[in-house]
């Protein structure tokens, strides 16, 4: 379906997220994190979520606020422990959140596989380490690999720089990070952008995420108040 | 170079001297990833005309120095989430591409810190294994097995005096047989299938090192 809904209301953009959903949350630290969508998801109330994100929240806003609200049962990430991850640290030490640590490249590739229809893949990353325990291994042309399964999302929440009205996305600098991969790996992809431009205004050669992967776009420039 | 060089007329290397030594050993034109912390110091010692291109695993080639003042941009950070700058010729890419270029063997050198390295080149640098520690791996495992050459920079002894170059790692592993060189304040080593070879020492001799490390140490012979 080529229908992309452009929203000027964050609450409407996340209205369909269900309890128990697996939510892919973009961002590397705060760069590219869809803070406005996450705040709306907190208001929306979905709970018992599995969140897939590189980190486990920074400071008290964005993903950290979702964790703090008690909505996340399990987090799949590569690097939870940081100097400003006190919200996650507290929940983890109290046994109130499950943690699945995945090497960053495997995390990205597992979502890429989900989005690309790949059933599983053999990765050299993690061979011989505790993170490969219990996983199938294979030697191919003399090198050892570990079988890694796709990670699929019910929903992806990502941030991008600009969208047109068909959901074609461009990103800015290293805020691109997980956005393009997560957009492909979720049944429903919801994007917040700083600006929605008319269809035709983006150079087709520079589009990073084609609109086929995008379902909902929140136009931050159309929100009330100073958000973007 | 013929034989291990023992510099007994001086003390251990400073962190800057170690960084300069690593920079000297990175071939001109290399694509290089510098880990968070002490490895980052290497960037200060790379010649501007060396043609070395820095990769940051959050999605950039051609990373410039840390950003200050008006150059700080929340959309442009390094893997340590520190604001950085872009150099002419920089490029951006998403996470799957960033790690594909790593695993695919396109990155020439990465420089990482470590808790332990074995004589055979096994690396332990992501987790102490302590029961109350929160595990966090980031890109360490991908870098360890992806870059063509992995250089480790670390202190030779932990704060409690325990040696960090070991016969076999006791901390949880990051990667098997992946490290090629180890740079410490007391000595530099080549490690791998042939075991650990001392390249240079600083303020200590090979024989004394042998007494303090539980790993077979070879002298450089050619």
pLDDT at A87 over 50: yes
| pLDDT tens, position by position, B6-55 | 999 999 999 999 999 999 999 999 999 999 889 999 999 999 899 999 99
Residue A200's Cβ-count burial label (10 Å; 0-12, 13-18, 19+) is exposed
% of chain A exceeding 70 in pLDDT: 97
Residue A225 predicted with pLDDT over 70: no
Residue A171 sits at the chain B interface (C-beta within 8 Å): yes
With cut-offs at 50, 70 and 90, classify the pLDDT of residue A228: very low
Partner residue facing A105 (CB), from B103, B134, B173: B103
pLDDT per residue over A164-186, tens digit each?
Answer: 999 999 999 999 999 999 999 99
Residue A137 located in a structural domain: no
Cα(A177)–Cα(B74) distance, rounded to whole angstroms? Answer: 13
Q: pLDDT for A99-122, tens place per residue?
A: 999 999 999 999 999 999 999 999
On whether residue A125 sits in a domain, the answer given is no
Q: Do B96 and A181 touch (CB under 8 A)?
A: yes
**In this structure, is residue A78 part of a structural domain?**
yes
Whether A73 maps to a domain, the answer reads: yes
With 90 as the cut, is the pLDDT of residue A51 above it?
A: yes
Split into its structural domains, chain A has a count of: 1
How far apart are the C-alpha atoms of B200 and B11, rounded to whole Å? 13
Which pLDDT does position A226 carry in this prediction? 52
Here the ipTM equals 0.95
Question: CB neighbours (10 Å) of residue B29?
Answer: 10
Tell me whether residue B89 is exposed, middle or buried, using C-beta atoms within 10 angstroms of its C-beta: 0 to 12, 13 to 18, 19 or more.
exposed
Domains defined along chain B, listed by start: 5-42+105-219 (3.40.1080.10)
- DSSP summary character for residue A17: P
Count, in order, helices (H) and strands (E) of chain A.
Answer: 6, 12
Question: What value does the mean pLDDT take over residues B160-165?
Answer: 96
Determine the 3-state secondary structure of B218 from DSSP.
strand
Is A66 within a domain?
yes
Give the model confidence (pLDDT) of B175-202 as tens digits.
999 999 999 999 999 999 999 999 999 9
- In chain A, the N- to C-terminal Cα span, in Å, equals 29
Q: Model pTM?
A: 0.96
CB atoms within 10 A of CB A191: 29
Asked if the structure places residue A141 within a domain, the reply is no
CB contact under 8 A, A31 and B75: yes
Tens digits of residue pLDDT in A55-78: 999 999 999 999 999 999 999 999
Does residue B57 carry a catalytic annotation?
yes
What CATH number does the domain containing A166 carry? 3.40.1080.10
> Which residues are B117's β-sheet partners?
B123, B165
| Residue listed under structure tokens 């964050």 | A10
What pLDDT is attached to residue A136? 98
In a domain, A139, yes or no: no
Is the CB of B136 less than 8 angstroms away from the CB of A79? yes
Domain of A91 in residue numbering reads as: 5-120+151-222
| CA distance, residue A104 to nearest chain B CA (Å) | 5
Task: Please tell me the distance from the alpha carbon of residue A194 to that of residue B31, in angstroms, as a whole number.
Answer: 33
Which positions in chain A touch B127 (Cβ < 8 Å)? Answer: 130
Separation of alpha carbons A41 and A49, rounded Å: 11
Residue A15 belongs to a domain: yes
Mean pLDDT of A6-28: 97
Q: What is the mean pLDDT of residues B160-174?
A: 97
Is the confidence at residue B221, as pLDDT, over 70? yes
pLDDT at position B16, please?
97
Phi/psi of residue B99, nearest 5 degrees: -85, -25
């Amino acid at each position: 379906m080529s229908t992309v809904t452009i929203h000027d209301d964050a609450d409407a953009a996340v209205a369909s997220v269900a309890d128990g959903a697996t939510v892919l949350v973009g961002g590397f630290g705060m760069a590219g994190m869809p803070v406005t969508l996450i705040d709306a998801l907190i208001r929306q109330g979905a709970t018992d979520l599995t969140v897939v994100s590189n980190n486990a929240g920074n400071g008290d806003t964005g993903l950290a606020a979702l964790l703090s609200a008690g909505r996340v049962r399990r987090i799949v990430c590569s690097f939870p422990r940081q100097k400003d991850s006190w919200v996650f640290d507290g929940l983890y030490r109290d046994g109130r959140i499950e943690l699945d640590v995945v090497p960053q490249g495997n995390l990205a590739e597992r979502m890429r596989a989900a989005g690309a229809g790949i059933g599983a893949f053999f990765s050299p990353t993690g061979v011989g380490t505790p993170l490969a325990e219990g996983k199938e291994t294979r030697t191919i042309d003399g090198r050892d690999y570990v079988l890694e399964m796709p990670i699929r999302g019910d929903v992806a929440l990502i941030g991008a720089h600009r969208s047109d009205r068909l959901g074609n996305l461009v990103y800015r600098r290293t805020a691109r990070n997980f956005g393009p991969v997560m957009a492909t790996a979720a049944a429903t992809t919801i994007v917040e952008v700083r600006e929605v431009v008319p269809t035709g205004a983006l150079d087709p050669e520079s589009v990073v995420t084609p609109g086929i992967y995008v379902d909902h776009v929140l136009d931050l420039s159309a929100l009330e108040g100073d958000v973007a | 170079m013929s034989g291990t060089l023992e510099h007994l007329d001086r003390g251990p290397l400073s962190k800057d001297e170690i960084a300069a030594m690593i920079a000297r050993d990175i071939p001109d034109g290399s694509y290089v990833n510098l880990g968070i912390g002490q490895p980052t110091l290497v960037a200060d010692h790379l010649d501007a005309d060396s043609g070395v291109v820095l990769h940051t695993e959050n999605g950039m080639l051609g990373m410039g120095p840390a950003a200050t003042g008006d150059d700080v941009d929340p959309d442009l950070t390094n893997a340590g989430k520190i604001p950085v700058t872009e150099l002419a010729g920089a490029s951006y890419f998403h996470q799957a591409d960033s790690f594909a270029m790593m695993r695919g063997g396109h990155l020439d050198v990465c420089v990482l810190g470590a808790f332990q390295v074995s004589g055979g080149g096994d690396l332990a640098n992501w987790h102490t294994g302590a029961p109350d520690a929160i595990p966090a791996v980031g890109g360490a495992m991908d870098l360890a097995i992806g870059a063509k050459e992995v250089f480790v920079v670390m202190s030779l002894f932990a704060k409690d005096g325990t040696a960090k170059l070991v016969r076999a790692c006791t901390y949880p592993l990051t990667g098997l047989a992946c490290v090629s060189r180890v740079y410490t304040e007391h000595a530099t080593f080549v490690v791998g299938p042939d075991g650990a070879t001392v390249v240079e020492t600083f303020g200590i001799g090979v024989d004394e090192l042998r007494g303090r490390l539980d790993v077979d140490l070879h002298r450089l012979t050619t």
